[in-house]
Structure 1
Amino acid sequence: METRNLGASGMKVSALAYGNWITHGSQVAEDGAIACVRQALDEGITTFDTADVYANTAAETVLGKALAGERREGLEVFTKVYWPTGPRAHNDMGLSRKHILESIDGSLRRLGTDYVDLYQAHRFDHGTPLEETMVAFADVVRSGKALYIGVSEWRAEEIRAAAEWAKELRIPLVSNQPQYSMLWRVIESEVVPACRELGLGQVVWSPIAQGVLTGKYRVGQAPPEGSRATDEKGGADDISRWMRDEVLERVALLQPIADDLGLSMAQLAVAWVLQNDNVSSAIIGASRPEQVTENVKAAGITLEESTMRAIDDAVGPVVTDDPALTKSPQR
């Protein structure tokens, strides 16, 4: 497994991270979820990403069980704070000092660890002064409960403002976690240049566009049984924006490109995001261990410029790249 530095920091992460956004604690039974984590470890993945909101805290618990007994120093465990958990009372959401300091303790308890390697602000909080948020994060770091700080789905100007506070407070703000794939490129024009300048790396999610870039969905055909597009617990809603005929027609044009390289469509999609030199790690998820085995083969692959151009020609008309689409809820 290839490793990369997380932004400009000295910590190395596996080029592929394992994430449990909409699977563990909800769509996949606990035994199956743990089997996927064990397979990720066997394949050389050392970086694991979760969040307190995933399955309303259950995903953190499952991940903690799956990693129990592993050498802690050999893992990089990431989690996040912002979205509501528990009964959704008025202080159960956001980036207030109260919510951050209470949430980190809950996450550590569920994960079964004394610290997380990266604690991330899951969205920007328009209802809390940024100073309050960053001072709270500084206290989390100084207490030893997190080693590094990151953000997720923040706009370039928000990241710049946070970086100023991080510099003043002398805490390591090292990463951003955005959605990024061949089809969703909203970070390229503003967020990536800002992060390069500031020393933040991208830990990207949904590199296969929630399964659409696997090629399993075809125009005029019903989604395969058991696929995300048939999941009534939320998966079908998440993937619906990609299920338009014009998108599926363009995705189908990627098949011969993958075939020529001896790759699956999923491997091509993951390899594509890893070509961006600001990407520190790409998060993959799985409902079955064999999916992990397939996706890890994308690590270390170099795509030629001609291949990158062919991909752009195939999907260009349906690419989303408006930076304004990176936004947080107004509260």
Structure 2
Amino acid sequence: MEARRVGRSGLIVSRLGLGTMGWGRGTDTDDAAAQLAAFVAAGGTLVDTANVYGDGDAERMLGTLLPDVARRAQVVLAATTVGVGGGRRALITALDESLRRLGTDSVDLWQVHGFDTGTPLEETVSALELAVRTGRAGYVGISGCTGWELAAVAGWAGAQGGPLVSAEVEYSLLERSPEESVLPAAAALGLGVLAWAPLGRGVLTGKYRHGTPADSRGASSSFARYVNRHRAPGADRVVDAVVTAAQGLGLAPLTVALAWARDRPGVATAIAGARTAPQLDAVLAADATVLPPEIVAALDEVSGGPAH
């Protein structure tokens, strides 16, 4: 699998990342182990997790698998802290808790999610700098931000000696809003983009075109609202275009949607999560596909026009 540099940093990641959002909630230990083994065997390195996935169960599960299923050195471990505010003490405490669950002294990339208007920006940035200075994190980034927030945090971080390397955003043919400000800001600042939900939360696979499969995330009480975010008016036209393109190329819709997001300018990696090992196999099989320029242009147009 192709390796890419995250922005202008020294951090190198696989161009497909393994998401763990469903681990502990629909994905059991055996399936998680099979996923991790297949991902590493395919040359994948970036494994993405967060403190809120399964209320910490995803991190615990990953922590038990790393010594046995894959060596720690084989994995670029990215951890995101969500929901603790922007205070330095709360962020560092949450990071330490994640490290304990993961069974490691440090993560390769630590990202803070969201923007806390109640906390001075420089305090949040000081937590990022502290994490790098104390060896808790090799690199730092932020997730779920606007372009101006990204620029502001990057400015403070550079001044404090803990420069950002990444911006993590939801990005797919059904979610192109990052092109308005986040992607241009990341490009100007030399940051790499980590694109999550490149399959439009599963909607771009076409599985929901004629209803909700009983074994899908859309039928799950834990994930229905997550999926339904993209089962909205206008989405059908985009999904139909993906399916049509896939049929013309002799590919699966999943492959088309994933290749589109993975190869957008500035994207270092596209993070795809799977409920089962066979679903991940389909994701990994898509890695070799490069879409023809005319297909990319057509998908750009139907989903809202080319990036600015």
The answer, yes or no, to whether TM exceeds 0.5 is yes
Deviation at residue 246 of structure 1 after TM alignment: 4.1
SS state at 2:65 partner: helix
Residue in structure 2 matched with residue 326 of structure 1 by the alignment = none
* Aligned: 1:147 with 2:138: yes
Deviation at residue 245 of structure 1 after TM alignment: 5.7
Worse overlay, 241-250 or 262-271: 241-250
Number of aligned residue pairs: 307
Residue in structure 2 matched with residue 279 of structure 1 by the alignment = 267
Residue in structure 1 matched with residue 204 of structure 2 by the alignment = 213
SS state at 1:26 partner: coil
Residue in structure 1 matched with residue 300 of structure 2 by the alignment = 312
Residue in structure 1 matched with residue 230 of structure 2 by the alignment = 242
* Aligned: 1:4 with 2:4: yes
Q: What is the correspondence of 1:19-168 to structure 2 with a 5 Å cutoff?
A: 19-21=19-21, 23-69=22-68, 70-83=70-83, 93-168=84-159
Q: Could you give the per-residue CA deviations for residues 224-259 of structure 1, whole angstroms, max 9, x where no partner exists?
A: 1211111112x1111113224642244123222112
Q: In structure 2, what is the Cα distance between the partners aligned to 1:236 and 1:212? A: 12
Kept in 2: contact 1:251–1:314 (CA 8 A): no
Kept in 2: contact 1:14–1:47 (CA 8 A): yes
Q: In structure 2, what is the Cα distance between the partners aligned to 1:35 and 1:308? A: 33
Pick closer, same or farther for the CA change 1:158–1:37 going to 2, 3 Å.
Answer: same
Deviation at residue 211 of structure 1 after TM alignment: 0.8
Residue in structure 2 matched with residue 89 of structure 1 by the alignment = none
**Residue type at the aligned position of 1:256:** T
**Residue type at the aligned position of 2:74:** G
Q: Could you give the per-residue CA deviations for residues 147-206 of structure 1, whole angstroms, max 9, x where no partner exists?
A: 100100111111111111111112131001100001110111211111111111110110
Kept in 2: contact 1:80–1:119 (CA 8 A): yes
Deviation at residue 294 of structure 1 after TM alignment: 1.2
How large is the Cα RMSD of the aligned pairs? Answer: 1.9
Q: Could you give the per-residue CA deviations for residues 243-281 of structure 1, whole angstroms, max 9, x where no partner exists?
A: 246422441232221122232101111100122120000
Q: What is the correspondence of 1:168-317 to structure 2 with a 5 Å cutoff?
A: 168-218=159-209, 221-233=210-222, 235-244=223-232, 246-316=234-304
**Residue type at the aligned position of 1:62:** M
Q: In structure 2, what is the Cα distance between the partners aligned to 1:98 and 1:10? A: 28
TM-score relative to the length of structure 2: 0.94
Task: In structure 2, list runs of 5 or more residues that go unmatched.
Answer: none
SS state at 1:255 partner: helix
Q: In structure 2, what is the Cα distance between the partners aligned to 1:242 and 1:104? A: 31
SS state at 2:115 partner: coil
Q: In structure 1, what is the Cα distance between the partners aligned to 2:66 and 2:56? A: 16
Deviation at residue 105 of structure 1 after TM alignment: 1.2
**Residue type at the aligned position of 1:66:** L
Q: In structure 2, what is the Cα distance between the partners aligned to 1:312 and 1:119? A: 32
Pick closer, same or farther for the CA change 1:163–1:19 going to 2, 3 Å.
Answer: same
Kept in 1: contact 2:174–2:238 (CA 8 A): no
